[in-house]
Amino acid sequence: MATFAPHMARWAVLAALVGLLMAALPARAGVSTCSSKPTVCIWNPPDGMGLQLPALASEASILAARRKVHHRNLLAAAWGGGDEGDEDFVPRRALAEAGERTLAPAAPQPPPSAEEEANVVARLQGVLQSQEEEQLRLHRRERGAQDLAASSSKLAASHGTKGSATSSSSSSSSSSSSSATLAPASAPGRGRRLQEAASLPAGARSAADREGPRLLTPQGVAGMSARPRRRPGARSPVLAVLNSTLGLVAAANDVTLLNSRGQPQGQILQELTFLEGDGLRVGIDIARGGVVGEVSSTRMPAPFEGKNLVNVWDCGRLMQQSYYGCDDGSCWAAKKWRWNPVQAGSWQNLPAKLLSSRVERGPDGRVRHVSTRAHPRNWGGQELLEDVVLSSNYTVQGDVLVVRYTMEYKGRHAQPTRMQEVPATFLDRRLSVLAMYEGDLPWTGDALRFSAPGASNSNYWPSERWGAYLDPATGHGLGVFTPIADRLTAYRVGPEGSRRVSDTSYFALLSKFPIAPNSTFTYTAYVTAGSVSHIRSTFRRLAESHGLVRPELAARKLRQGAPGARPWREQGPVADYRAAATASDAAAKQAQEAKAAAKAAALARAAAAARAKQEAAKRAREEAAAKAKAKAKVAAAAAAAAAAKGR
Percent above pLDDT 70 for the chain: 62
pLDDT at residue 444 above 80?
Answer: yes
Q: Contact 399/280 with Cβ under 8 angstroms?
A: yes
102-116, 355-369, 494-508, 545-559: segment of lowest average pLDDT: 102-116
| Separation of alpha carbons 481 and 393, rounded Å | 16
Specify the pLDDT at position 218: 32
Question: Which 3 state secondary structure label does DSSP give 291?
Answer: strand
Q: How confident is the model at residue 587 (pLDDT cuts 50, 70, 90)?
A: confident
pLDDT average, residue stretch 437-466: 93
Query: Higher pLDDT residue, 219 or 620?
Result: 620
58-72, 548-562, 583-597: segment of lowest average pLDDT: 58-72
Residues composing the chain: 647
pLDDT average, residue stretch 110-122: 59
Supply the DSSP string of 407-463, one letter for each residue: EEE--SSPEEEEEEEEEEEEE-TT--EEEE--SSSTTTTPPPEEE---SS-EEE--T
| Separation of alpha carbons 206 and 211, rounded Å | 9
| Separation of alpha carbons 232 and 288, rounded Å | 31
Reported as half-sphere exposure (CB side, CA atoms, 13 A), residue 46 has a value of 22
Specify the pLDDT at position 640: 86
**Exposure letters 545-556 (e unless 16+ CB within 10 A, then b):** eeebbeeebbeb
| Separation of alpha carbons 318 and 344, rounded Å | 8
* pLDDT 10s digits, 298-310: 999 999 999 999 9
Question: Which 3 state secondary structure label does DSSP give 397?
Answer: strand
Phi, psi dihedrals of residue 287, rounded to the nearest 5°? -65, -25
Q: Contact 456/425 with Cβ under 8 angstroms?
A: no
| Separation of alpha carbons 42 and 40, rounded Å | 6
**Long-range CB contact pairs, 181-186, < 8 A, 24+:** 181/146, 181/149, 181/235, 182/233, 182/234, 182/235, 183/145, 183/149, 183/233, 183/234, 183/235, 184/230, 184/235, 184/236, 185/138, 185/139, 185/141, 185/142, 185/145, 185/235, 186/138, 186/141
Run of H or E residues at 321: strand 319-322
Q: Which of 153, 158, 203 is nearest to 178 (CA)?
A: 153
**Exposure letters 614-632 (e unless 16+ CB within 10 A, then b):** eeeeeeeeeeeeeeeeeee
| Separation of alpha carbons 227 and 293, rounded Å | 18
pLDDT at residue 280 above 80?
Answer: yes
Please tell me whether the peptide bond between 303 and the residue prior to it is cis, using omega within 30 degrees of 0.
Answer: yes
Query: Higher pLDDT residue, 51 or 154?
Result: 154
The amino acid occupying position 71 is: H
The amino acid occupying position 275 is: L
Architecture of domain 251-561: Distorted Sandwich (2.70)
pLDDT average, residue stretch 137-151: 64
90-94, 216-220, 451-455, 555-559: segment of lowest average pLDDT: 216-220
Q: How confident is the model at residue 582 (pLDDT cuts 50, 70, 90)?
A: confident
Question: Which 3 state secondary structure label does DSSP give 399?
Answer: coil
DSSP 3-state percent helix, strand, coil across the chain (nearest 5):
35, 25, 45
110-124, 315-329, 472-486: segment of lowest average pLDDT: 110-124
| Separation of alpha carbons 132 and 204, rounded Å | 38
| Separation of alpha carbons 306 and 163, rounded Å | 36
| Separation of alpha carbons 571 and 558, rounded Å | 15
Specify the pLDDT at position 260: 79
| 262 Cβ contact partners less than 8 Å away, ≥ 6 residues apart | 308
* pLDDT 10s digits, 31-81: 777 876 676 666 443 333 333 223 333 333 333 333 333 333 323 333 333
* pLDDT 10s digits, 512-524: 999 999 999 999 9
Sequence spans of domains, the chain: 127-212, 251-561, 575-608
> How many Cβ atoms sit within 10 Å of the Cβ of residue 274?
15
Specify the pLDDT at position 368: 95
pLDDT at residue 279 above 60?
Answer: yes
pLDDT at residue 557 above 80?
Answer: no
User: How much is the mean pLDDT over the chain?
Assistant: 74
Q: What one-character DSSP code corresponds to residue 308? A: -
Phi, psi dihedrals of residue 209, rounded to the nearest 5°? -65, -40
pLDDT at residue 295 above 80?
Answer: yes
Q: How confident is the model at residue 7 (pLDDT cuts 50, 70, 90)?
A: low
pLDDT average, residue stretch 592-605: 89
Supply the DSSP string of 489-527, one letter for each residue: EEEEESSTT---TT-EEEEEEEEEEEE-TTEEEEEEEEE
Cα distance between the two ends of the chain: 102
> How many Cβ atoms sit within 10 Å of the Cβ of residue 643?
9
Specify the pLDDT at position 398: 95
pLDDT at residue 318 above 50?
Answer: yes
Q: How confident is the model at residue 154 (pLDDT cuts 50, 70, 90)?
A: low
Q: Contact 210/231 with Cβ under 8 angstroms?
A: no
**Cα–Cα distance list, 562 to 363, 406, 444 (Å):** 51, 41, 11
**Cα–Cα distance list, 214 to 217, 230, 499, 581 (Å):** 10, 8, 28, 45
| Separation of alpha carbons 530 and 536, rounded Å | 10
pLDDT at residue 446 above 70?
Answer: yes
pTM over 0.75: no
Run of H or E residues at 178: helix 164-181
> How many Cβ atoms sit within 10 Å of the Cβ of residue 501?
30
Q: Which of 337, 280, 283 is nearest to 310 (CA)?
A: 283
pLDDT at residue 642 above 70?
Answer: yes
Run of H or E residues at 134: helix 114-158
Specify the pLDDT at position 394: 98
Query: Higher pLDDT residue, 399 or 174?
Result: 399
| Separation of alpha carbons 366 and 350, rounded Å | 31
Phi, psi dihedrals of residue 480, rounded to the nearest 5°? -130, 135
Q: Which of 487, 436, 440 is nearest to 461 (CA)?
A: 487
